[in-house]
Amino acid sequence: MIISDKTLKRLIKSGELVVDPLTDESIQPASIDCRLGDTFLEIDNSEMSTISMSEEIKYRKIVKDKIAIPSHSFVLATTVEYIELPDNITAFVEGRSSIGRMGLFIQNAGWVDPGFKGKVTLELYNANSLPIVLEKNRRICQFVFCYMDQKADKPYLGKYQGQLDTVGSRVFKDSESKFRALKKARK
């Protein structure tokens, strides 16, 4: 069940749900608008010729109040807002319609697990034929919160827990990568 503005306000006031900082204008009928931070990561293609799920990806960090994303390019960013989800609430990250109509696709893998604490890293892709200029503190996406049918047995404690900045892919830390590395070392 999607959580309404009235319930979101109650959950935030009680401390069950944390979204900080938060303004009244951020709370929408069925979501909370979130703003763009000032830290971005671009894949450093001068350091790599391919991207592998088994090896750490090299990124170039950019800290700016304004950034232009070239046409058909990808960048990671983060929200200004820090969130803490209880064990019975999950969140979807959705782009704002006004931003999508500019040709900017926004993801965070689409999902925030119950128990997550931190700022959410956003995956931004410019599908337009022109560069898109993004500005710090502009509302860029929205969190849609949902109740689960019961508390999670194992709330999120994964490799992105507690992130306070833009964080690149850590897929190389997945168990499949560790297993392959161990198998390769035995040969």
**Distance from C-alpha of 164 to C-alpha of 108, rounded to nearest angstrom:** 15
Residue-wise pLDDT tens digits, 77-86: 999 999 999 9
**Strand locations in 36-116 (E):** 39-43, 59-63, 66-69, 74-84, 89-95, 104-107, 111-112
- % pLDDT > 90, the chain: 84
Domain of 43, CATH number, reads 2.70.40.10
Residues 6+ apart with CB under 8 A from 17: 8, 11, 83, 84, 85, 86, 89, 145
Rounded Cα distance, 96 and 105, in Å:
9
| Catalytic residue check, 55 | no
Number of domains in the chain: 1
| Ranges in the chain, pLDDT < 50 | none
Look at strands 111-112 and 89-95 and give their pairing: antiparallel
pLDDT tens-digit readout, 104-131: 999 876 689 999 999 999 999 999 999 9
Retrieve residue 147's tokens: 């109740």
Considering only CA atoms, which of 53, 54, 57, 62 is closest in space to residue 43? 57
Question: Which secondary structure element, helix H or strand E, spans residue 13, and what is its range?
Answer: helix 5-14
Selected catalytic residue, list 55, 123, 135, 176:
123
Q: Supply the range of the domain harboring residue 55.
A: 5-186
pLDDT number for residue 146: 98
pTM of the model: 0.89
